[in-house]
């Protein structure tokens, strides 16, 4: 078990939209032999669909709207990549995914620098002290000066940084990257789409061979490296693992450039599976008894079979095919006869899996996001609450003849975490989301995957708070007094919907016996 745990690396790739996250994912898969051709091909302006974007709506819109799970082997290590949605409207899916990984690679656009979504994602990483590596992408474009980017990374992301590679110029004059650790120069040859870069071995930066290959850029590189060594502390793996220091790499994912240095360093220094906090204790990966939690559910991964797959992160022990496991929430035993590992939409049945692995389980409706599976111990992994949506709309069935398909579709899609489901009274169904794009995705999937038509009616609410009280009578009175603002979530918990922040604060002030919770897991610090 120790050997299997130590060889695993489970991480997520995160970024602001269009920074090159999915492209980087593909190039890592190229190195690992997971795929043979890249999704984006520059020659003849041909653009293929990215391997990790497999939902039809993703192919049409050119964005990632669901977390994809991919595994491959590299240098004796088993790499599990979780490619997350970049679009801010799907940030909750990304936040949940970050609970299932041990480290993160953050992609930053060298032209735009640190953007809003980058900061928000980094805040989530900082909450958990998740180790972070940074890949500054698109060096083949005219971008920001690298030292300026380094300062911005430290300032906006609130983390110390240390470059491990350094660009030799940029834009049209981009010549390659210098590996500060190995003292190698990787030469950039524009237009080449092969995985291998041309490696230039130099004894040190004074080698005249460097001047021959990169010309006048050699002098600038020498000055930059001298400044780096004078300004930045030596790289410390301990500081990186503690989430306080981020190593920085430069390259061009589209051109397969600088990716090898990132991957090889990642394999060497990134953490193997670590302990996980549960409600009663911390769970160590080396424990003999199996445990794991569901962090994602995806319906219709294969539209031909109408399947429903729950993604399980293994935290301890060994997962075995067809073995009975204890479903803590439902207090019953479940058996999984066809557990899967993934390469995007392609899946293969496995017989066993270890801590750090992500396994797909065929679900008949028993599993929900946040559920814990064990070998009998009653514990629950923490850190996967639902937060308040920003937009609320009533969903209306426009084809009463397909009412069954409508209700099934809404139930499945909200259980995936694409959006949150609330009910008001007997008939009103409310869907809450982070952004408007999610409603387009829901409507598209309802029509194409469930054969149901729907439309959305905007509602005036902008805040949701889960409500409890030690005084049951006071809670009932408040719910009766604010009946038109009260809904129930998917688990039947009462939720107060407020039109504005001012109205919410007034309600909190005027009803001191009612507790207003910012998330659905009241025991979490809010």
For the record, the structure tokens of 216 come out as: 């006048």
Distances (CA, A) of 18 to 13, 26, 122, 285, 311: 13, 14, 17, 35, 26
Q: 380 lies in a domain? A: no
DSSP state of 45: G
Considering the domain architecture, whether residues 45 and 162 belong to the same structural domain is answered as: yes
Q: Average pLDDT for residues 128-152, to the nearest whole number? A: 92
pLDDT in tens, 54-107: 345 444 444 333 446 788 889 999 998 887 764 454 456 677 788 889 999 999
Considering the domain architecture, whether residues 247 and 282 belong to the same structural domain is answered as: no
- Give 212's pLDDT tier (boundaries 50, 70, 90): confident
Pairwise pLDDT comparison (209 vs 317), residue with the higher score: 317
Considering the domain architecture, whether residues 246 and 293 belong to the same structural domain is answered as: no
Considering the domain architecture, whether residues 298 and 332 belong to the same structural domain is answered as: yes
pLDDT in tens, 322-378: 999 999 999 999 999 988 886 544 668 889 999 999 998 988 878 888 899 999 999
Q: Which of 144-158, 281-295, 353-367 has the lowest mean pLDDT?
A: 353-367
* Secondary structure in 3-state letters for 175-190: CEEEECCCCEEEECCC
Distances (CA, A) of 163 to 218, 236, 477: 18, 12, 59
Q: Which of 78-87, 127-136, 219-228, 516-525 has the lowest mean pLDDT?
A: 516-525
Q: What is the CATH number of the domain that holds 426?
A: 3.30.70.3280
| Residue 457 lies in domain | 391-517
Pairwise pLDDT comparison (95 vs 108), residue with the higher score: 108
Q: Average pLDDT for residues 151-157, to the nearest whole number? A: 94
- Give 126's pLDDT tier (boundaries 50, 70, 90): confident
Return the half-sphere exposure (C-beta side, CA atoms, 13 A cut-off) of residue 169: 13
Q: 525 lies in a domain? A: no
Work out how many domains the chain is built from and give that number: 3
Q: 382 lies in a domain? A: no
pLDDT higher than 50, residue 216: yes
pLDDT higher than 80, residue 406: yes
- Give the three-class secondary structure for 450: helix
pLDDT in tens, 473-489: 999 999 999 999 999 99
Q: 167 lies in a domain? A: yes
Whether 474 contacts 411, CB under 8 Å:
no
Q: Which of 374, 406, 429 is the last residue of a domain?
A: 374
For the record, the structure tokens of 41 come out as: 């091909």
DSSP state of 48: P
Distance of CA 491 to the CA centre of its chain: 25
- Give the three-class secondary structure for 149: helix
Of 523, 29, 505, nearest to 277 by C-alpha is: 523
Q: Which of 198-202, 425-429, 471-475 is modeled with the greatest confidence?
A: 471-475
Considering the domain architecture, whether residues 308 and 290 belong to the same structural domain is answered as: yes
pLDDT in tens, 447-461: 988 899 999 999 999
pLDDT higher than 90, residue 192: no
Specify the DSSP element, H or E, that contains 6: helix 2-6
Whether 85 contacts 67, CB under 8 Å:
yes
Q: Average pLDDT for residues 124-135, to the nearest whole number? A: 88
Specify the DSSP element, H or E, that contains 391: strand 391-397
Distances (CA, A) of 354 to 5, 79, 128, 272, 348: 7, 13, 22, 11, 16
Q: Average pLDDT for residues 234-258, to the nearest whole number? A: 92
Considering the domain architecture, whether residues 182 and 36 belong to the same structural domain is answered as: yes
pLDDT of residue 87: 47
Q: Which of 374, 405, 435 is the last residue of a domain?
A: 374
Q: What phi and psi, each to the nearest 5 degrees, are found at residue 29?
A: -65, -35
- Give 120's pLDDT tier (boundaries 50, 70, 90): confident
* Secondary structure in 3-state letters for 240-265: HHCCCEEEEEECEHHHCECHHHHHHH
- Pairwise CA distance, residues 16 & 89, whole Å: 11
Q: Average pLDDT for residues 157-178, to the nearest whole number? A: 88
Considering the domain architecture, whether residues 366 and 412 belong to the same structural domain is answered as: no
- Pairwise CA distance, residues 401 & 441, whole Å: 22
Considering the domain architecture, whether residues 284 and 411 belong to the same structural domain is answered as: no
Nearest 5°: CA angle at 68, between 337 and 164? 125
- Pairwise CA distance, residues 71 & 80, whole Å: 4
pLDDT higher than 90, residue 150: yes
Q: 524 lies in a domain? A: no
For the record, the structure tokens of 334 come out as: 């479940």
Q: Which of 67-71, 157-161, 397-401 has the lowest mean pLDDT?
A: 67-71
pLDDT higher than 70, residue 198: no
* Secondary structure in 3-state letters for 491-512: CCCEEEEECCHHHHHHHHHHCC
Distances (CA, A) of 411 to 42, 401, 447: 41, 18, 14
For the record, the structure tokens of 36 come out as: 């043979």
Considering the domain architecture, whether residues 149 and 102 belong to the same structural domain is answered as: yes
Q: 522 lies in a domain? A: no
Considering the domain architecture, whether residues 265 and 284 belong to the same structural domain is answered as: no
Q: What phi and psi, each to the nearest 5 degrees, are found at residue 488?
A: -125, 140
- Pairwise CA distance, residues 293 & 316, whole Å: 10
For the record, the structure tokens of 105 come out as: 């690679």
Considering the domain architecture, whether residues 321 and 452 belong to the same structural domain is answered as: no
How many other β-carbons are positioned within 10 Å of the β-carbon of residue 391? 19
Q: 106 lies in a domain? A: yes
Of 362, 357, 365, 278, nearest to 319 by C-alpha is: 357
Q: What is the CATH number of the domain that holds 322?
A: 3.40.50.300
pLDDT of residue 85: 61
77-80, long-range: CB within 8 Å, 24+ apart, which pairs? 77/7, 77/8, 77/9, 77/267, 78/7, 78/8, 78/9, 78/356, 78/357, 79/9, 79/11, 79/28, 79/32, 79/267, 80/8, 80/9, 80/10, 80/11, 80/356, 80/357, 80/358
Of 109, 112, 113, 67, nearest to 86 by C-alpha is: 67
pLDDT in tens, 348-359: 888 999 999 999
pTM for this prediction: 0.76
Q: 384 lies in a domain? A: no
pLDDT of residue 169: 84
Considering the domain architecture, whether residues 211 and 281 belong to the same structural domain is answered as: no
Specify the DSSP element, H or E, that contains 404: helix 403-415
Whether 153 contacts 160, CB under 8 Å:
no
Q: Which of 247, 269, 291 is the last residue of a domain?
A: 269
Q: For residue 293, list its beta bridge partners.
A: 313, 372
Q: Which of 118-132, 401-415, 450-464, 506-520 has the lowest mean pLDDT?
A: 118-132
pLDDT of residue 177: 87
pLDDT of residue 453: 92
């Amino acid at each position: 078990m120790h050997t299997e745990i130590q060889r695993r690396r489970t991480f997520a790739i995160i970024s602001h939209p269009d920074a090159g996250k999915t492209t980087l994912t593909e190039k890592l898969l190229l190195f690992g032999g997971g795929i043979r051709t890249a999704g984006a091909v520059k020659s003849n302006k041909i653009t293929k669909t990215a391997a990790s974007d497999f939902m039809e709506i993703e192919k049409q819109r050119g964005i990632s709207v669901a977390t994809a799970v991919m595994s491959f082997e590299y240098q004796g290590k088993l790499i599990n990549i979780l490619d997350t949605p970049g679009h801010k409207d799907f940030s909750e899916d990304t936040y949940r995914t970050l609970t299932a990984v041990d480290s993160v690679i953050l992609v930053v656009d060298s032209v735009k620098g640190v953007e809003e979504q980058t900061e928000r994602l980094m805040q989530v990483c900082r909450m958990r002290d998740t180790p972070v590596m940074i890949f500054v992408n698109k060096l083949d474009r005219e971008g920001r000066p690298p030292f300026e980017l380094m300062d911005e990374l430290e300032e906006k992301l609130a983390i110390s940084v240390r470059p491990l590679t350094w660009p030799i110029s940029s834009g049209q004059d981009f010549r390659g990257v210098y590996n500060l650790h190995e003292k190698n120069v990787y030469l950039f040859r524009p237009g080449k789409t092969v995985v291998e870069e041309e490696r230039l071995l130099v004894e040190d930066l004074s080698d005249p061979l460097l001047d021959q290959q990169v010309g006048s850029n050699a002098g600038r590189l020498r000055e930059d490296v001298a400044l780096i060594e004078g300004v930045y502390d030596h790289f410390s793996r301990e500081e990186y693992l503690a989430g306080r220091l981020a190593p920085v790499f430069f390259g061009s994912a589209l051109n397969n450039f600088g990716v090898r240095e990132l991957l090889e360093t990642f394999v060497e220094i990134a953490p193997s599976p670590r302990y996980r906090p549960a409600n009663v204790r911390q769970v160590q990966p080396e424990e003999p008894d199996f445990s794991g939690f569901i962090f994602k559910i995806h319906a219709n991964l294969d539209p031909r079979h109408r399947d429903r797959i729950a993604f399980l992160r293994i935290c301890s022990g060994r997962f075995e095919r067809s073995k009975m496991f204890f479903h803590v929430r439902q207090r019953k035993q479940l058996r999984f006869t066809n557990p899967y590992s993934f390469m995007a939409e392609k899946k293969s049945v496995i017989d066993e899996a270890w801590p750090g692995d992500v396994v797909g389980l065929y679900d008949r409706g028993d599993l929900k996001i946040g559920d814990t599976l064990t070998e009998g111990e009653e514990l629950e992994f923490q850190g996967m609450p639902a937060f308040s949506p920003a937009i609320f709309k009533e969903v209306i069935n426009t084809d009463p003849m397909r009412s069954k398909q409508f209700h099934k579709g809404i139930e499945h899609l909200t259980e995936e975490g694409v959006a949150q489901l609330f009910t008001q009274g007997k008939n009103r169904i409310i869907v809450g989301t982070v952004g408007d794009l999610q409603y387009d995705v829901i409507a598209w999937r309802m029509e194409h995957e469930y054969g149901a038509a729907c439309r959305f009616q905007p509602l005036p609410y902008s805040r949701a708070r889960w409500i409890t009280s030690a005084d049951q009578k006071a809670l009932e009175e408040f719910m009766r007094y604010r009946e038109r603002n009260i809904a129930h979530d998917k688990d039947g918990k009462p939720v107060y919907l407020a039109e504005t922040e001012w109205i919410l604060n007034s309600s909190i002030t005027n009803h001191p016996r009612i507790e207003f919770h910012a998330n659905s897991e009241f025991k979490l610090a809010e």
